[in-house]
Chain A
Amino acid sequence: MTENLITLLVELKEQDCLRVTGERLEAGEDPHKIVEDAREAMKIVGQRFADNVYFIPDLVYSGKILEQISEIVKPKLSQKSQPKRLGKFVIGSVAGDLHDIGKNLVSFMLDVSGFEVFDLGVDVPAQAFVDKIKEVEAEVLGLSGFLTSVYQAMKDTVEAVKTAGLRDQVKIMIGGGVMDDEVKKFSGADAYRPDAMAAVTLAKEWIGGA
Chain B
Amino acid sequence: MADKTTENLERWCSGEGIDFINGEAEAAYKRRARRIADVIQLKIPDRVPIVPSFGMFPYLDNGLTCEEAVFDYEKAHQAAMKTLEEFEPDMFLGSGYAFPAPLFEALGYKQIRWPGQEIPAHYVYQFVEDEYVKAEEFYDHYLGDPSDFMLRVYLPRVCSQLTPLERIRPFAESFGYYLTMCGSYAYFGIPEVQEALKALMKAGEESLKWVSILGKQAEEIVSRGFPLFEGGESAAPYDLVGDWFRGTAGVMTDMYRCPDKLLAVMEKLVPISIKMGLDLAKDTGHPIIGFMLHKGADGFMSPEQFNTFYWPPLKKVMMGLIEEGFVPLLLCEGEYTSRLETIADIPKGKCIYWFEKVDWARAKEILGETVCIRGGVPASILFSGTVQQMKDCLKEVIDVVGKGGGLIVDCGLWFDEAKHENVKTMVEFTKEYGVYR
- Interface of A with B (CB < 8 Å)? 12, 14, 54-58, 60-61, 64, 96, 98, 101, 148-149
CB<8 Å pairs between A and B, sample of 15: A12-B256, A55-B299, A55-B300, A55-B305, A56-B299, A57-B301, A57-B302, A58-B302, A60-B249, A61-B253, A64-B253, A96-B119, A98-B126, A98-B128, A148-B383
Distance of A172 from chain B, by nearest CB (Å):
24
Q: Which of A60, A148, A149 contacts B253 (CB 8 A)?
A: A60
Distance of A110 from chain B, by nearest CB (Å):
18
Complex-state Cα separation, A23 to B128, whole angstroms:
41
Can you name 8 extra interface pairs (CB under 8 A) apart from A57-B256, A60-B249?
A: A55-B299, A55-B301, A55-B302, A57-B300, A60-B253, A96-B119, A101-B248, A149-B120
Asked if B123 contacts A57 (CB within 8 A), the reply is: no
Q: Name which of A14, A56, A58 has the most chain B CB atoms within 10 A of its CB.
A: A56
B249 CB contacts on chain A under 8 angstroms: 60, 64, 101
- Interface of B with A (CB < 8 Å)? 119-120, 123, 126, 128-129, 248-249, 252-253, 255-257, 299-302, 305, 383, 417
Complex-state Cα separation, A58 to B248, whole angstroms:
13
Complex-state Cα separation, A58 to B249, whole angstroms:
10
Closest-by-CB residue of A relative to B118 is: A96
Q: Which of B123, B257, B300, B305 contacts A149 (CB 8 A)?
A: B123
Asked if A57 contacts B383 (CB within 8 A), the reply is: no
Q: Which of A14, A54, A55, A149 contacts B256 (CB 8 A)?
A: A14
Q: Name which of A57, A60, A61, A101 has the most chain B CB atoms within 10 A of its CB.
A: A57
Count, A-B residue pairs, CB within 8 A: 40
Asked if A60 contacts B126 (CB within 8 A), the reply is: no
Asked if B129 contacts A57 (CB within 8 A), the reply is: no
Complex-state Cα separation, A149 to B301, whole angstroms:
28
Which 8 pairs, one residue from A and one from B, show the smallest C-beta to C-beta distance?
A57-B252, A55-B302, A60-B252, A60-B249, A61-B256, A61-B253, A57-B301, A56-B300
Asked if A57 contacts B257 (CB within 8 A), the reply is: no
Complex-state Cα separation, A54 to B303, whole angstroms:
10
Distance of A143 from chain B, by nearest CB (Å):
19
Asked if A56 contacts B252 (CB within 8 A), the reply is: yes
Distance of B114 from chain A, by nearest CB (Å):
14
Complex-state Cα separation, A148 to B417, whole angstroms:
10
Complex-state Cα separation, A54 to B301, whole angstroms:
9
B417 CB contacts on chain A under 8 angstroms: 148
Complex-state Cα separation, A55 to B129, whole angstroms:
21
Complex-state Cα separation, A56 to B249, whole angstroms:
9
Complex-state Cα separation, A56 to B302, whole angstroms:
8
Closest-by-CB residue of A relative to B306 is: A55
